Amino acid sequence: MPERGASGPSSIECRQIADLLGDYLEGTLPKPTRELLEWHIEGCGPCVAFLNTYRGTINAAAKLKEVEIPSELKQRLLTVLRSQRASHQPGA
Ligand SMILES: [Zn+2]
């Protein structure tokens, strides 16, 4: 019974981690994707470091949330976060 097929830690790449991390921290990822992501990160030092950096940014954003920033500003912040995330990806 072939349980190991195309899916596994190797089926998800660091680039995809960077791409999914925002949704992951927001808790909006579907469970299988989340597990795959966690699985990858467990065995990938660079992704752990990236996750920590990303979390730091999110925490800063969460603090801003406490003082109730306007949704327009929040959108801008998200846009900045997204562009930062994009710049982490090598090449095109
Ligand atoms: Zn990785």
Cα(58)–Cα(33) distance, integer angstroms: 20
Whether the model clears a pTM of 0.85, i.e. scores above it, the answer is: no
The pLDDT of residue 28 is 94
Give the burial class of 85: count Cβ atoms within 10 A of its Cβ; 0-12 exposed, 13-18 middle, 19 or more buried.
middle
Q: How confident is the model at residue 67 (pLDDT cuts 50, 70, 90)?
A: low
Instruction: Give CA–CA dist 22/41, Å, rounded.
Output: 14
Q: In 3D, which of 26, 14, 16 has the Cα closest to residue 78?
A: 26
Residues bordering ligand 1, an ion, CB closer than 5 Å: 14, 44, 47
| pLDDT for residue 32 is more than 90 | yes
Going by pLDDT thresholds of 50, 70 and 90, the confidence category of residue 5 is very low
For residue 10, what pLDDT is reported?
55
Q: What is the DSSP string of 67-86?
A: T---HHHHHHHHHHHHHHHH
For the chain, the structural domain boundaries read 9-87
Q: Output the CA 85–ligand 1 centroid distance in Å.
A: 14
